[in-house]
């Protein structure tokens, strides 16, 4: 075959296009291959099941966070929402320290509380007119502080056995949290990608002023997306409490950074308006594989934090690179 310059240029563009669009998937595959080789038991059925269960809590939170991020916001209070709802729920259902309420009654209350905590972020963001980064940083301290105050330094046990099913139960070979994660992801994908509401969330994240000008109620939308974030945190909180089976103020702490890193890795833009649930799940899988693989490989927690921090920065850098590349393309067209 002759060496055609336009053909080779076209080929290199195609390779570049594949790398740009499938980077998260390529990273995930690379991580799986590496840990399959270096980490013992990484590819066993039990480990894979464990891995997916581990990521189910982050995935649920990340789906909620994604609504906020696609709309152009950010929520750093997710972990603190989980801490607070976790403590409140454990006190409601604990027969030793709490009220001994039936979990079937307490769980909806806990999820509703998560939704209200999320809504508060949206309302405060509207009232204070500052970036949600600052608002949710503030509420994160408040929610966490309230959790500590209510817990009063105790680990709350005495939870009813009927509550175990949500975090520890199985349907056939599949853990319940995985089933709930799949359900949340499907519902999230439906609302984000297939409804008029989702279309407006993307519009709002793409150009907030234009969204206002086409008649989208920005303030209301902001409250709704934060409420969805809180709803997802509420669900994750129930599952985490059931899994840990002990009300602790450390449960859920820092989950927002895993969710944020996963979202950015999966192509959800920090500036809003972009990202898919499938991409998000790829991002969560990357985090999950790294966590699990590093544990199996015997790396201690602080090394894991080092890797995750570097990954978060790399994801932000990659997002920024994509944005400036697109801006250059637009300039070239104009």
Partner 1 sequence: MEYAVEMKGICKSFGGVQALKNVDMELRQGEIMGIVGDNGAGKSTLMKILSGAYQADKGEIFIFGNQAEIHNPLDAFKQGISMIYQDLALFNNLDVARNIFVGRELVRGPLGITLAKKDMYRRAEELIKDLRVDIKSPRLNVARMSGGQRQMVACARAIAFQSKIMIMDEPTAALGVTEANKLLGLIKNLKDLGLSILLITQRIPDILAIADRVFVLKGGVRQDILNVKDTTLDDVVFLIVKGKDGNSKKVDDIEYKSFG
Q: Using CB under 8 A, list all residues that contact partner 1.
A: 194-200, 202-203, 205-207, 209-216, 273-274, 326, 329-330, 333-334
Beta bridge partners of 156: 247
Q: Could you give the CA distance from residue 288 to residue 78 in angstroms, rounded to a whole number? A: 18
Closer CB to partner 1, 75 or 274, in the complex: 274
Secondary structure (3-state) at 101:
coil
Closer CB to partner 1, 185 or 238, in the complex: 185
Q: Could you give the CA distance from residue 93 to residue 103 in angstroms, rounded to a whole number? A: 6
Closer CB to partner 1, 160 or 198, in the complex: 198
Q: Could you give the CA distance from residue 142 to residue 163 in angstroms, rounded to a whole number? A: 28
Secondary structure (3-state) at 131:
coil
Closer CB to partner 1, 24 or 205, in the complex: 205
Closer CB to partner 1, 14 or 326, in the complex: 326
Closer CB to partner 1, 37 or 330, in the complex: 330
CB-based contacts of 22, cutoff 8 Å, min separation 6: none
Q: Which of 113, 116, 120 is CA-nearest to residue 241?
A: 113
Closer CB to partner 1, 71 or 106, in the complex: 71
- The least CB distance from residue 131 to partner 1, in Å, is 19
- The least CB distance from residue 334 to partner 1, in Å, is 6
- The least CB distance from residue 333 to partner 1, in Å, is 6
Are the beta carbons of 180 and 60 closer than 8 angstroms?
yes
Closer CB to partner 1, 200 or 243, in the complex: 200
Identify the DSSP state of 298. T
- The least CB distance from residue 202 to partner 1, in Å, is 6
- The least CB distance from residue 21 to partner 1, in Å, is 13
Q: Could you give the CA distance from residue 218 to residue 42 in angstroms, rounded to a whole number? A: 46
Q: Could you give the CA distance from residue 20 to residue 267 in angstroms, rounded to a whole number? A: 10
Largest CA distance in the chain: 80
Q: Could you give the CA distance from residue 262 to residue 185 in angstroms, rounded to a whole number? A: 14
Q: Could you give the CA distance from residue 313 to residue 328 in angstroms, rounded to a whole number? A: 22
Are the beta carbons of 72 and 216 closer than 8 angstroms?
no
- The least CB distance from residue 115 to partner 1, in Å, is 19
Secondary structure (3-state) at 262:
helix
- The least CB distance from residue 331 to partner 1, in Å, is 11
- The least CB distance from residue 213 to partner 1, in Å, is 5
């Amino acid at each position: 075959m002759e060496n055609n310059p336009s053909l080779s240029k076209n080929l290199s563009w195609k390779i570049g296009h594949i790398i740009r669009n499938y980077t998260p998937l390529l990273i995930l595959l690379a991580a799986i291959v590496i840990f399959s080789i270096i980490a013992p038991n990484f590819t066993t059925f039990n480990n894979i099941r464990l891995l997916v269960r581990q990521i189910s809590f982050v995935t649920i939170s990340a789906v909620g966070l994604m609504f906020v991020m696609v709309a152009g916001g950010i929520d750093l209070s997710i972990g603190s929402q989980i801490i607070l709802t976790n403590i409140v729920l454990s006190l409601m259902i604990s027969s030793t320290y709490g009220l001994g309420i039936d979990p079937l009654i307490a769980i909806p209350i806990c999820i509703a509380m998560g939704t209200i905590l999320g809504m508060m972020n949206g309302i405060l963001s509207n009232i204070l007119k500052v970036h949600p980064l600052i608002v949710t940083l503030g509420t994160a301290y408040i929610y966490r502080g309230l959790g500590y105050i209510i817990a009063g330094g105790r680990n709350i046990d005495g939870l009813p056995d009927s509550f175990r099913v949500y975090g520890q139960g199985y349907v056939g070979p599949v853990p319940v949290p995985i089933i709930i994660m799949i359900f949340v992801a499907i519902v999230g994908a439906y609302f984000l990608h297939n409804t008029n509401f989702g279309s407006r969330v993307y519009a709002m994240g793409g150009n907030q002023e234009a969204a206002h000008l086409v008649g989208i109620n920005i303030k209301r939308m902001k409250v709704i997306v934060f409420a969805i974030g809180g709803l997802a945190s509420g669900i994750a909180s129930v599952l985490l409490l059931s899994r840990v089976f002990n009300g602790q103020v450390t449960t859920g702490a820092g989950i927002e950074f895993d969710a944020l890193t996963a979202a950015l890795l999966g192509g959800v833009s920090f500036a809003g308006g972009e990202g898919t649930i499938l991409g998000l799940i790829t991002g969560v899988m990357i985090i999950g594989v790294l966590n699990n693989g590093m544990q199996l490989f015997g790396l201690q927690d602080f090394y894991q934090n080092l890797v995750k921090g570097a990954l978060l920065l790399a994801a932000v850098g990659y997002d920024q690179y994509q944005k400036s590349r697109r801006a250059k393309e637009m300039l070239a067209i104009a």
